[in-house]
Structure 1
Amino acid sequence: MAQHSHHHTAHTHDHDHGTSLADLLDLDAEVLGSYLEPLTEWVGQHLRETPRRIVDVGSGTGVGTLTLARRFPAAEVIAIDRSEFMLERLGTAAREQGLADRLSVVHADLDVAWTAVGAADVVWAASSLHEVADPDRVLRDMCAALNPAGLLVVVEMDALPRLLPDDVGVGRPGLESRCHEALARMNWNSHPNWQTHLERNGFEVVEERTFVSEANPAPPSTGRYAQTYLRRIRSALDGQLAADDRITLDLLLSDDDPNSVLRRTDLIPRGTRTAWAARRP
């Protein structure tokens, strides 16, 4: 598995790793999830009819799944993921939000085969399409699974989240940028522009749009989000950063250092997602 900082959990097997990633996904939604409301509203603008069945491919903890369920209250929503742990967490959240009666979960590995979920009006694939072994085959499967004029929505995190000020007050300025540059060399968060893939696999691309999130003022959970997220970066970049940057990052990640992200008041989380809306003719 290539290392990515995205919102898909298809390759989660270890329980502790799964718990950590699930926490990160939910914290990301708390801190940077403001894009979901305008994004799902945009989806609605491209629908020709009220959707009756929505399929979320690579649902993770279901932040997008449940947003779609609230946006389209007449729809049955089916969440597919290869992580049973994530699907259990999604089921719990659905019950807590009173949405369980319209949600079905399907444990499936789409690298093996498309799963029979019936004809859909909307298929949603957020930060998951770039994870499958053969995206073109999966796109053809999605096209076949959609009703005529049905809509596929592909969403990608087109840049890693920004959390830190350029100068964190210790070490050299520009730490976060250097981390992102190192992660880019490791192909973190890499994905193509999906338009060509969509068109050659039977879709008509309706629109591509970028959605921006900036949490200012930062919500109370920002420190925990920053610590959880930067710990994943620190682990991935072991041996990839200069010694002084590793020291600075460890100070930021500590629980009790004055520079810890848990204590800082200068965090301004920012993120962007790009979405493609494509219709089955």
Structure 2
Amino acid sequence: MAAHSHHHHHARTQDGIDWSTRLAFFRQADELDAEARRVVARRLVRPLPDRPTVLDVGCGTGGMAVALVEALSARGGGTLVLVDGTPEMLDAATSAARSAATYEGDTATAVVKVRPVLADLATERPVEFAGPAQLVWASNVVHHLPDQRAAVAGLVEAVSPGGWLALAEGGLEGKFLPWDLGVGEPGLSARLSGARAHWFTLMRENIEGSVRLPGGWNTVLADLGMLDVTAFSYLIDHPAPPKQAVRDWAVNQLKWHREVAGDLLHPSDRDAVRRLLDPQDPAYLGLRDDVFLLMANTVHLGRKP
């Protein structure tokens, strides 16, 4: 996925992923997702009271934090609390958000306070990070925690009465490769997706204390007492021929697929991936005109009574 922000204290976490090594990749994704996220941030901030407190849980490198700062600035300010468990991620998000907050400081009186909190969601309660918030945003965070329903319950606890929880989970997996690359067998993209889905299932099973989710995210929100439960999806669409940022993202995305699920691929697919990632090969992804980025992210919303 383009926008994956995760968090934990330890460099190597329970899900086995060293998030600090993914910093450059997340920054790249933030840049490509920026326009779509601005629209989402404005939509989420619109119903909030004046000068609200917003909690961005698992803020990653701060792509959504910047969008939230801009949306809050435009309506008179507020407080943004950033939470992540990887210090490098949290630092990146904090400086990005703070520079957005002071961007028009000489003319505007709107001030958004940005407060970073280093914390591990698997062991700490979000309500302790900021007290009740009028909006809690958590994107692609919960599915890395052992008990996902308990994690959502913790997020609900951090929402003030009448406030909103916005849970960005699921959608349509990002596509970035054409059906036939002229290398290996056609349909590599679908087989990569299958391998990654298999890896994800194994990753969930191997998290210590892992508990299966009883159903879809909307039913979880409703079961936890949230009202007006609904969802919307937003598109990230960078068509071919791509700008170089999209090519670079595609190279890193394919490397990530290879890293997590490469051994689940047929040897001929592994060979095709090796060629696509070789800068000396004519098939190299970083120079192709037929790569793109197309994905849909879903945001599940609920309001606290």
Q: Structure 2-normalised TM-score?
A: 0.82
What residue number does 1:69 align with?
69
1:44–1:89 distance in 2 versus 1, CA, 3 Å? closer
User: Contact 2:136/2:165 (CA < 8 Å) preserved in 1?
Assistant: yes
Q: Give me the identity figure in percent.
A: 23
> In the alignment, does 2:230 pair up with 1:214?
no
Following TM superposition, by how much is the alpha carbon of 1:32 offset from its aligned partner in structure 2, in angstroms? Answer: 3.9
**Structure 1 position 18, deviation (Å):** 3.7
Provide the aligned C-alpha RMSD in A. 2.5
Aligned in 2, Cα 1:50/1:131: closer, same or farther, shift over 3 Å?
farther
> Aligned partner of 1:136: which letter?
R
Deviations, residues 42-87 of structure 1 (Å, cap 9, x unaligned): 3235x25235100011111111112111111212100111111111
Alignment pair present for 1:60 and 2:60: yes
Matched, 1:155 2:168: yes
Q: What is the distance in 1 between the residues matched to 2:152 and 2:226?
A: 9
Residue of 4, 8, 27 corresponding to 1:7: 4
C-alpha change, 1:147 and 1:17, in structure 2 (3 Å) is closer
Instruction: Give the total of aligned pairs.
Output: 276
Instruction: Summarize the Cα distance change of 1:98–1:144 in structure 2 as closer, same or farther, 3 Å threshold.
Output: closer
Alignment match, 1:166: 179
Report how far residue 169 of structure 1 moved. Answer: 1.4
Question: What are the superposed Cα offsets for residues 89-148 of structure 1, whole Å, 9 maximum, x if unpaired?
Answer: 112323443459621110111221213412211000111122222233333333332222
Q: Which residue of 2 aligns with 1:108?
A: 119
Deviation for aligned residue 1:19? 4.4
* Partner of residue 127, structure 1: 140
The 3-state SS of whatever aligns with 1:239 is helix
Comparing 78-87 and 18-27, the one that deviates more: 18-27
**Structure 1 residue 17, shift from structure 2 partner:** 4.4
Partner of 1:23: 24
Q: For 1:92 and 1:48, how far apart are their aligned partners in 2? A: 25
Q: Is the 8 A contact 1:163 1:269 kept in 2?
A: yes
User: Superposition pairs for residues 217-256 of structure 1, below 5 Å?
Assistant: 217=240, 218-256=242-280
Aligned partner of 1:86 in structure 2 is: 89
Query: Which residue matches 2:284?
Result: 260
- The CA distance in 1 between the partners of 2:198 and 2:153, in whole Å, is 31
After superposition, give the CA deviation of every residue in 1:188-226 in whole Å (9 maximum; x if it has no partner): 698852111111112114421121221125332111111
Q: Is the 8 A contact 2:218 2:230 kept in 1?
A: no
Q: Which moved more, 1:97-106 or 1:242-251?
A: 97-106
* 1:239-279 deviations in Å (ceiling 9; x for gaps): 21111111111111112322111110111210110111110
150, 158, 175: which one pairs with 1:137? 150
Q: Which has the higher contact order (CA 8 A, sep 6+)?
A: 1
Provide runs of 4+ in structure 1 moved above 4 Å. 98-101, 188-192
The aligned counterpart of 1:40 is 41
Aligned counterpart for 1:187 among listed residues 192, 200, 204: 200
**Unpaired stretches in structure 2, ≥5 consecutive residues:** 104-111, 205-212
Contact between 1:198 and 1:205, CA under 8 Å: does it hold in 2?
no
SS in 2 for 1:94: helix
Query: Taking structure 1 as reference, are residues 265 and 60 closer, same or farther at Cα in structure 2, changes over 3 Å only?
Result: same
- Aligned pair in 2 of structure 1 residues 91, 244: CA closer, same or farther (>3 Å)? same
For 2:139, the aligned partner's letter is A
| DSSP-derived class of the 2:244 partner | coil
Q: Which residue of 1 aligns with 2:106?
A: none
Q: Structure 2: how far apart are the matches of 1:177 and 1:155? A: 23
